[in-house]
Structure 1
Amino acid sequence: MTGYRTIPTKDTFDVDERLGGLITVKQLAMLILTFALTYVTYAFFSELMGGSSDAIIPAATVFFGCMLFTFANLDRWAYLRIKYYLLSDQGRLARRPELLRNIRMVEDDKIFTLDGRVLALLKVTPINFSLLSDEAKESRIAAFEMYLRQLVYPISHLVQSESVDLEPYASVLTLKSREAEKQGIPGIAAWSDEHLRFLREFLRTNHARTKSHYVVLQVQDPRYRLKRGDLREGSSAKMGRYLRAFMTEFQPAGLLAGGALMQKPDNYVMVDLAANRLIFKNAGRMPHVAPPRSHRLGQVLEFESRVAMLRWARQMEKDYYYGPVNIEEEIKVEFANMSLHDREKEFSVEERRRHVQLSMGKTRWAYDELEKHITVLAEKLEATGLRVRRLRGEELLTGRHMAMAQAHQVKVNPHFLTVDNTYYKVVYATGYPYQVNVGWLGNIVDSREDYDVTMYVYPVSIPEAISTFRGAILKLSTEKKARSDFLDPETEQHLEDVRNFFTQVVSGKERYFLTSLYITCKAGSRKSLETVLEKCKSDLAGASIEHETADYDMSRALYTTRLTGSDLLAKKREFPSSSLAATFPHISASMEIDPEGLFFAMDWAGTPIIMDITRLPNQHIAITGESGSGKSYFAKSLIPRYLAGGYRVFVTDPDGEYVELARKFGGEVSSVGPKYGTVINPFDYEGRDVNDKIRSLLGFFSIVAGSLTKYQEGIISDTLTELFEQAGRHHKPVVMSDFAARLRSALERARDDEIRHDLQFLLISIRPFLKGNLYGFIDRPTTVKLNSRLHVFDLREYQNDKTLRDLFNYLIFDFITHTLRNDRDRKALFMDEGWTMVNYPSSEDYVRYIIKDSRKYNASFVFLTQELEDMLQSPAGRSILNNTSTQFIFHQKESAMALMKSTVNLTHEEYERLLSCGKGEGLMISDRFRLLFRVRTSEAEHALISTDPNEAERKEKQEPRTSIAREKSRPTVEVREIPIAPSPIPESKTLNSELVLPELVKLRKESDARRMETEMRAQEKLEDGKRAAAAKEPELRLELPSDKPPQAILREDAPPARAPMKSQPLALTHGLVSPKEALALLQSAAEKEKSKGAKAGKKKGKK
């Protein structure tokens, strides 16, 4: 990326013209004054000492002191100290701490300041600029420059350092977890308390800080700025008015007549400002007709408004006496304090214009200008990729940005300020680097140190800019000529810069701005303040920014850096629009905490990543990483957070890692397989649209058969349509046997060889799933009931069989999504390596359709994979990744990172960080954020979800095993089984939830050993019966000895298999087809392909 030229120092424009190339006009004046003071001093002491030569000593002292003062530029040093000790009112801020707040009132989402400005506040959500690509950075800088070009009025950007506020999230989580426990999740409230305790302790220990970003637009009516009026009269005028009232009421004649010395005159009217009433001493003096907007109650006139009362009283001031009340002054005060709407209702346009100096800046013109420009600026800021929200109503007064303004005690020191036991010190920039890059202020605005950054931007009109440039060119040219005797490259460089910028401003390529940059360091002690100050200076030096501290002017400096302050220090420097846009002050590597969100991890600065995924385009999450990178640990840590957030959670568990979590939170575990009795019927269509169910089953058969042709899909669709229509009429469930019977019936009626071939292929594919075969347990109605808030499907029995794992993942995915489709509550499905189920065309289409449609029924899918290379090389895998709004990428192999870099557009920095990150670290990519993260959990949570075998071994040694009989009173997890043969484990075995995993594995192994022996005998008898039946049905005798792989039945010269088939059906891959029949099937397919090729060749020859 190319750099941007700046205007480095004040010498570029603020050039003092030198006389003869030696001294400036100011220095010449100081020299004249020096010689005068020297002469007067010598004359005075010479007269005092009687003409002694010693009089030259004080004269020489004055002379050399003045010369040092003249050429060492000590005038600024002396001015600040004289001003601080003699001229400035430093005690004013100590007496009135509310001046730091600088708010007169808040009205219609606007702040009216004490100095007559009208402010609108925008809160900005920053972006992680460093992780963007170079093209994205340039795009945002160009958009930010367009925003700057729209400026008409001064604007300030404030980056405020704050402690991480966890309490809004904590209060919401506490309420949700208590409600979740009432809904049947035992222990979730205690987990929530432990989770919050861990977060608070982590933030306290690591002194975590976050940055809040604000943009303030300020508008001031120029008429009010030119002429200001005082609301209250002076003390002398007030004393004179009270004296006149005393003389009016003093009645010595009444005292002689037996009355009081002080008496109200007969025309006295008491003004009740609180109740808007006029109370007459003499009822006879009251007007016969009540004034407008008033009514009479005895001796009282009650008005609708205070202004109406005061204006009538002013009209009748010659007829009535109101005591010491100044009616004109009260009207001014009421005019100033009224809302704009009430003011326009009570006063005419001419009156409002005449008293604009009393409006406190609250005029219709300022209102309209502010609203017009704040809307445009918000749109332009959003075009840069920032999220912008306008602060409204009470939030303007109660937000965290106003916390410091609620000062109770202020102590002013020449070098720092103390506000309520917090020390402040302000640093301002005086010069900038000659050339800057994109986001060059990033290390300053996103520093985790406790200091604020305030940047004022003043747009300069083109005529004013041209005048400034011309003056600077004239001064620099004069100085260059005056120094023609020797080479001065600095002056020549400045002259060249000014000429270049002048050309660009005149041509419209650049716009001219004045900018002030201030940094406010803050700490709890004087020593800590010095530490923060040194770090601040180091950051500024790293950015090549020249700086000074605002010593002896700290009160005005602190006022300048406040959100409602104005630039009293006015340390302005010139900036062209391109280099000013490159500052891009809204940069952060952290994200704002969403109280309604879920906690995921910590960013690298130690700030919690708490995000509401319901506000994203979808709630889906992809978690990728190599084995041992921490992805499963991370996924398990999310499950309690989902439960506490009000989600129902379902998990497909290929390795039995989530069973302990289900026990902890009272969940259910369904072990899918013939030994456990958990069945999901693929043909279960109750409560579903038939066409949608057929679409789902096409995906199921795509996995079963390995692949389907369009014609085979048509056969399945027609068969299912007839089957569901018949079942609907008889109100009975459909199972796999019903579908197989339909196919056999169609095979008997079919006469076309190709149709018969397709029907035979489908029958071969589904044979393992019919009753009596290996996977015939699914040829039954569904037995799974989703009653709990957490349900784990244990698939560890198929962890070594990828195809079956994909099949059951698909069944569970379809079952859960459609069982809960009418349930609008939040739900989440965790699928470990579940993406591979979409490697089949029909299933890919269906799963993609469900994922895109999931927002309608409030579902979140969480996909985990360690096979990143396979996923990225697969179109289906890339489709899954592209349809997830949030990705958590853990450490990857370098070969996988090359694919990931192009898929998710990783920058070079992200790429290097991912290659070097450790366990539990990675990159989070969301629609609006790209953050580097670290997974952090509490000790109790870690003990629950860790699968480190070393830790498990240590835990077993430390914790004695708990017997089953002693734990009968605790929550239980039911494991259902179908008794195929006598077994020591009954059909409904209830295991204690605290049973450790090794004991459970041991029980299952013993049970499996007995069952395997029984099953082998049953399988031998079954095969004998099938061989006998094969003689009657030769076309369906499809038994293959399980000890021979499918490849062994093919000769070397055998024709290839069916072309459309991407993978073989389960019947072939699991050894359920006889060698002779499989070979005949493949040969017939090859002959058909040859005949089709011959026909196509004849047609081409004819053409």
Structure 2
Amino acid sequence: MRLLQRLARPGGSTRLGGPAIATTPRRLIVEDTWAQTLIVTGYPRDVSAGWADPLLGYPGRCAVAAHIEPVAPEVAAHRLRRRRARLESAWRHETAHGRVEDVQAGTAAEDAAALAERLATGRGKLFRLALYITVYADTAPELAAETDHLRSLAASLLIDTAPATFRPLAGWISTLPLGTDALGQARSMDTDAVAALLPITSPDLDTAELGQTTVVWGTNTHSAGLVLWDRFTPGIDNHNMVILARSGAGKSYLAKLELLRSLIAGIEAAVIDPEDEYAALAEAVGGTRVAVGTPAGRINPFDLPAPAAEGDGDQEADQGLTRRALFIHTLIATMVGDLDATTAAVLDKAILAAYTGAGITADTRTWARKPPVLADLAHALREQGEAEGARLADRLHPYTHGAYKALFDGPTSLPLAGHLVVCSLRHLPEEASDVGMLLVLDRLWRRITDTAHVRPRLVTVDEAWLLLQNPVAAKYLQRMAKAARKHAAGLTLITQDVGDVLATDMGRAVAANAATQVLLRQAPQNLDAVTSAFQLSHGERQIVAAAPRGDALLLAGHQRVGVHALAAPHEDALITTSPEFTAAPSGRAAGPEEDGA
């Protein structure tokens, strides 16, 4: 008895019977919310990808449902034949009676003939598409105003709409996430027309030339579409990218998300990580983490490349040995300062002597032998019996037998190979940071220029302002930015010190050689420099001045689009470095809004 009384109440029973619903001829009242469903009855004849994004991304309270049902090929062919017969017979009847030709009927006949040809040749299929829009509001006047606004927007897109008169409940059910079409107001469309309706492209970013290395960045901040971008598309000048933002804007979050999805697309990646923020990501994807500055992260500058990577010709046989000798000159100069001509000549002879002592000569067949280390070079300097060599060996003592010998006391600990290599500089002493950075950059550059294994590669440099302050490292980055494209590679620079980057010649050169530029929220004192460097309009300047955390302005040549980083929960757990997230219980998703990077 009590159950019957509860169900008989005007408000209904949310526990047993669901929400209370009242209907009118055109509107529906669900609890305290008014709703009205519109049926799309007409579509524009010619459309392009993303044409319906203004409607699908309508900022008001509405639900858009598209019901797509494939039509069997034999049924599609039969219907098209009947449709073409009716249209052509009508046209012939009008012509026989001398009446003015119906342009719409002629156009419909041409479209039906073109569609029949595509179906017959297998270039498309036929679908039944039903599109419904349910508008919500708190009061009846608000619902009327919102409905009029939405119908005006639809009309501007050449979309005809009609209310679901006497069927408001069926219309509301058709827009719920149930997959049920209770109205049954479908139209026949081919594959291209249905695909153009789906919200899978950005109307502001041309995706026509994107290839297999395309990455989903997130959602378009000005529409409901997704932002997809391929840094290796042939349509852009190079594969480099710079990410500029103030501290806490979410730049590292966005960079890690792009890196993680690039790995899925089959791109090899390497990261220079000053703060060891990529350790969890490297471990999760089976990458290699090299802790530079520790015995486990030792890199031997005397390592020679595989002979096949240097070419098979006699003229190029000794280039690998020559390049190593030249690099060791640069490395020693970074350790002890500039060398005079006499000392440089002594060093050159000692380098060759160290290789000879290890049994390595210009003959590439000897390159597989164990290479010498820095202590062997110091020993060769002393063995020459010249004063300059002895003095240079003494100056190298901190790196051979002193405080920094962990960097060079032995062979390379881990090979810098694999789909992801993370070089952590956190354990590198500040006094030896220049030397450690130089070793890492040289090894990554050798990895990029490996002609035996050419494939798309990315090198990500986090907190790039640290390297740009170092003249030697900045020179390497500039060289990498200019020449990486020749080796199917791209350089990613992430920095928060925008003013210092754009104030130096090296920084401006690196930023100018990046075809893809990402600007998150900028500090007020950097707005003028960023606006001038990237030629931002007044509206774009306002976007980067007040962008929420996780929102960015993506610049790719003449194309510009706002993007919000969107990660799945398992991706978010790998790329979030916010202290609030790391201190939170496991299983909690932070998202870019909480990333402190």
After TM superposition, the score normalised by the length of structure 2 is: 0.59
Alignment correspondent of 1:921? 551
The CA distance in 2 between the partners of 1:650 and 1:208, in whole Å, is 43
Paired position in structure 2 for 1:704: 335
How far apart, CA to CA, are the structure 2 residues paired with 1:873 and 1:704?
27
Aligned partner of 2:229 in structure 1 is: 611
Shift in Å at residue 448 of structure 1?
A: 13
- Give the whole-Å Cα distance in 2 for the aligned partners of 1:601 and 1:671: 32
Q: Distance in 1 between matches of 2:546 and 2:536?
A: 14
User: Are 1:682 and 1:697, in contact at CA under 8 Å, matched by a contact in 2?
Assistant: yes
Change in 2 beyond 3 A, CA 1:702/1:832: farther
- 2:304 corresponds to: 685
SS at match of 1:610: strand
3-state SS, counterpart of residue 289 of structure 2: strand
Q: Which amino acid aligns with 1:682?
A: P
TM-superposed CA distance for 1:644, in Å, is: 0.7
The aligned counterpart of 2:442 is 814
How far the C-alpha of 1:673 sits from its partner, in A, is 3.0
Equivalenced residues, count: 424
Q: Does 1:589 align with 2:190?
A: no
Contact persistence 1:422–1:522 (CA under 8 A): no
Q: 1:705 to 1:691 in 2, by over 3 A?
A: same
- Alignment check: 8 A CA contact 1:768 1:774 kept: yes
Which amino acid is the alignment partner of residue 684 of structure 1?
A: D
> Which residue of structure 2 lines up, in the alignment, with residue 671 of structure 1?
291
CA separation of 1:602 and 1:702: change in aligned 2, threshold 3 A: farther
2:270 to 650, 659, 677: 650
CA 703–874 in structure 1, closer or farther in 2 if over 3 Å, else same: farther
- 8 A Cα contact 1:622 1:881, kept in partner: yes
For 2:524, the aligned partner's letter is E
Contact 1:668 1:788 in 2 (8 A): yes
- Residue 735 of structure 1: aligned partner: 373
Residues 245 and 522, structure 2, Cα contact 8 Å, conserved in 1: yes
* Larger relative helix fraction: 1
Say whether residues 1:768 and 2:385 are aligned partners: no
Where 1:807 maps in the other structure, the secondary structure is helix
Q: For the structure 1 residues 951 and 846, does the alpha-carbon distance in structure 2 shift closer, same or farther, using more than 3 Å as the test?
A: closer
Q: Deviations over 1:163-196 (max 9, x none)?
A: 57xxxxxxxxxxxxxxxxxxxxxxxxxxxxxxxx
* Cα contact 1:620–1:884 (8 A) shared by 2: yes
Task: Render the CA deviation track for 1:1039-1092: whole Å, top value 9, x for unaligned.
Answer: xxxxxxxxxxxxxxxxxxxxxxxxxxxxxxxxxxxxxxxxxxxxxxxxxxxxxx
Q: Which of these residues, 182, 207, 218, is aligned with residue 601 of structure 1?
A: 218
Unaligned runs of 5+ in 2: 1-40, 67-87, 94-105, 107-113, 134-149, 166-192, 194-201, 311-319, 590-597
Query: Is the counterpart of residue 660 in structure 1 residue 280 in structure 2?
Result: yes
Q: 2:65, 2:132 within 8 Å by CA — same for their partners in 1?
A: no
- 2-side partners of 1:592 and 1:208: how far apart? 25
Given the alignment, which residue of 413, 420, 429 partners 1:790? 420
Judging changes above 3 Å, is the alpha-carbon distance between structure 1 residues 868 and 161 closer, same or farther for their aligned structure 2 residues? Answer: closer
The runs of 5 or more residues in structure 1 that have no matched partner are 1-93, 102-156, 165-199, 210-229, 236-359, 361-392, 409-419, 425-446, 453-518, 529-561, 563-586, 751-755, 960-1103
C-alpha contact 1:702 1:708 (8 A) present in aligned 2: yes
AA aligned to 2:301 is P
Which residue does 1:352 correspond to in 2? none
Aligned: 1:832 with 2:462: yes
Pick closer, same or farther for the CA change 1:776–1:791 going to 2, 3 Å.
Answer: closer
Give the fraction of aligned pairs with identical amino acids, expressed as a percent.
Answer: 22
Answer whether contact 2:154 2:161 (CA < 8 A) is retained.
Answer: no
Q: CA contact under 8 A between 1:623 and 1:889: conserved in structure 2?
A: yes
Distance 1:911 1:686, change over 3 A: same
Q: Structure 1 residue 856: deviation in Å?
A: 3.5
Distance 1:690 1:205 in 2: 68
In structure 1, C-alpha distance between the alignment counterparts of 2:372 and 2:63, rounded to whole Å: 60
**Distance in 2, Cα, partners of 1:739 & 1:893:** 48
Shift in alpha-carbon separation, 1:699–1:613, aligned structure 2, 3 A: farther
Separation (CA, whole Å) in 2 of partners of 1:908 and 1:945: 33
Shift of 1:206: 8.6
Paired with 1:685 and 1:743, the residues of 2 have a C-alpha distance of 21
Structure 2 match to 1:878: 508
**1:904 and 2:534 matched:** yes
The alignment status of 1:951 with 2:581, answered yes or no, reads yes
Evaluate the alpha carbon distance shift between residue 958 and residue 908 of structure 1 in structure 2; reply closer, same or farther with a 3 A threshold.
closer
Output the CA distance in 1 between the equivalents of 2:151 and 2:576: 31
Judge conservation of contact 2:218–2:226 (CA < 8 Å) in 1: yes
- How many angstroms does 1:651 deviate by? 2.3
Q: Contact 1:161 / 1:450 at 8 angstroms: preserved in 2? A: no
Match of 1:1048 in 2: none
Q: 1:833 to 1:744 in 2, by over 3 A?
A: farther
Report the CA distance shift for 1:782/1:159 in structure 2 as closer, same or farther (over 3 A): closer
The residue that corresponds to 1:53 in the other structure is none
AA matched with 1:741: H
AA partner of residue 559 (structure 2): F
Deviation at 1:630, TM superposition (A): 0.5
The Cα of 1:733 is off from its aligned counterpart by: 0.8
Higher relative contact order (CA 8 A, sep 6+): 2
Structure 2 match to 1:637 = 257
1:421 deviates by 5.0
Matched, 1:522 2:159: yes
Partner-residue secondary structure (3-state), 1:649: strand
The CA deviation at 1:396 is 10
Change (3 A) 1:816 1:161: closer
Does the CA-based 8 Å contact 1:702-1:843 persist in structure 2?
no
Q: How does 1:362-511 map to 2 (within 5 A)?
A: 397=118, 421=130, 451=154
Note if contact 1:806-1:836 (Cα within 8 Å) is conserved in structure 2.
no
- Structure 1 residue 626 corresponds to structure 2 residue 246: yes
1:196-215 to 2 correspondences below 5 Å: none
Look up the match of 2:169.
none
The residue identity in structure 2 corresponding to 1:629 is: A
Residue 831 of structure 1, CA deviation: 1.9
Q: 1:158 to 1:953 in 2, by over 3 A?
A: closer
Instruction: Write out per-residue CA displacement over residues 963-1002 of structure 1, whole angstroms, 9 at most, x where no aligned residue.
Output: xxxxxxxxxxxxxxxxxxxxxxxxxxxxxxxxxxxxxxxx
Report the aligned-residue RMSD: 4.8
Instruction: Work out whether residues 699 and 843 of structure 1, in 8 Å CA contact, stay in contact via their aligned partners in 2.
Output: no
Q: Which has the larger radius of gyration?
A: 1
Q: Shift of residue 691 of structure 1?
A: 3.4
Could you state the TM-score of these two structures normalised by the residue count of structure 1?
A: 0.34
TM-fit CA distance, 1:680: 0.7
Cα deviation, residue 873, structure 1: 2.0
